[in-house]
Amino acid sequence: MWRIVRPDSVEVWNDKLVRSRLSRYYGILKEVFLPKFKIAKMIPVHVRLNSPEEELWKEHQRASEAFNRMMSDLDQGKANPKEIEAQSFATYLDLKIEIVKRIIENCHLCERRCGANRLEGEKGYCKLGRESLVSTFFLHTGEESVLVPSGTIFFTSCNFGPCVFCQNFDISGDPDNGQAVTAVQLAKIASDLKREGARNVNWVGGSPTPSLHNILESMKYLGANICQLWNSNFYMSNQSTELLLDVIDFWLPDMKWRDNKCASKYSRVPNYWDVVSRNHRAAYDRGGGEMIVRHLVMPGHIKCCTKPILEWISKYIPRALVNIMGQYRPTHLVPTSREYAEINRRPSHDEMEEARTYADELGLLWKPVS
């Protein structure tokens, strides 16, 4: 049963465009469709899980194709999920869990590709070993209208610098600011949030990417039919993106910078645009395309970042909803450093109007979620 806390979280579904572009997510909310991770549990794999990683990836490709056929059949009522669930076999989800364990032995969950053996407890760039730490979890009522109430699970640590203006530096910059959780405990947290009225499990941080191994394993123990939402800076490696594609139902990616120089200076991350645009297209083209792109309007960055980003969205992921965010405020390192004086202010009214007017000119759907 949904806990209704904001009128717009109900009213938004009267918008035909929103319903059309988020049709499968809405079907999960109405319990017409199964979330993807449940379907992944139905797909048998035909390889030993101790096989070489190359063989696991080949089977992953085959299982992905079988997954998409099965999802289509289930959504159209051509298959009975109860009959499939009654079987016993190593599954597509088991395969993903095994592959991600191989990845963290030489960690390349994100495009830092630091190579730490996190499986054995060595700490990576993210300052995390094998454990995942959760700072807090709760029903979030401040997210976009289609998402609330959202069952947010905030992981500590981040694979960015972190950003010089980070508003969550207490958890992104301090990986010890949280409690260690197992996959079983994560599944229980998700189930409890569902019982409290959450429309989705919102994997967020910090960054959830360094905890992908435990997130995927938690789905093995999760019985609740609840949407899986990936709320991230989208700086995942292409391998991590592949593992996410057939278990994530809804994508909530950030897209801050179009200029890699801006990303390097303010988020202290290399090759930002190349990585993030690649992952956006993968989620859109192969991950169902049901997403809200969050763009934080930065003061003084309308020409170099905001407008080019909106143009890119309109060209390559045009059905995505866009949250044009005006919430930026100077914090963390910005107020005390001359190096960042140019962003030591909030975006102006004129800047926000210029961004929103341009989104309208491009035909982007932003008003229901901004």
Q: How many helices (H) and strands (E) are present in the chain, helices listed first?
A: 15, 8
Tell me what pLDDT residue 82 has.
80
Kind of pairing, strands 200-204 and 150-155?
parallel
Tell me what pLDDT residue 57 has.
98
Which residues have C-beta within 8 Å of that of residue 27, sequence separation ≥ 6? 33, 75
Domain extents for the chain?
Answer: 8-369
CA–CA separation, 258 vs 260, rounded Å?
6
Tell me what pLDDT residue 4 has.
57
Encoded tokens for 355: 């961004």
Tell me what pLDDT residue 161 has.
87
Tell me what pLDDT residue 85 has.
66
CA end-to-end span of the chain, whole Å? 26
Tell me what pLDDT residue 346 has.
98
**10-15-21-22 Cα dihedral, nearest 10 degrees:** 10
Which residues have C-beta within 8 Å of that of residue 85, sequence separation ≥ 6? 41, 42
Encoded tokens for 357: 């007017």
Tell me what pLDDT residue 87 has.
65
Say how many C-beta atoms besides its own lie within 10 A of residue 365's C-beta: 19
- The one-digit pLDDT tens for each residue of the chain (370 residues) are 455 568 999 999 999 999 999 999 999 999 999 999 999 999 999 999 999 999 999 999 999 999 999 999 999 999 988 877 656 689 999 999 999 999 999 999 999 999 999 999 999 999 999 999 999 999 999 999 999 999 999 999 999 988 999 998 888 888 788 999 999 999 999 999 999 999 999 999 999 999 999 999 999 999 999 999 999 999 999 999 999 999 999 999 999 999 999 999 999 999 999 999 999 999 999 999 999 999 999 999 999 999 999 999 999 999 999 999 999 999 999 999 999 999 999 999 999 999 999 999 999 999 999 9
Whether domain 8-369 has CATH 3.90.1300.10: the reply is no
Can you spell out the DSSP letters for 123-191?
--TTS--S-EEEEEEEEESSS-TTT-SEEEEEE---SS---TT-TTHHHHS-TTSSEEE-HHHHHHHHH
CA–CA separation, 264 vs 235, rounded Å?
13
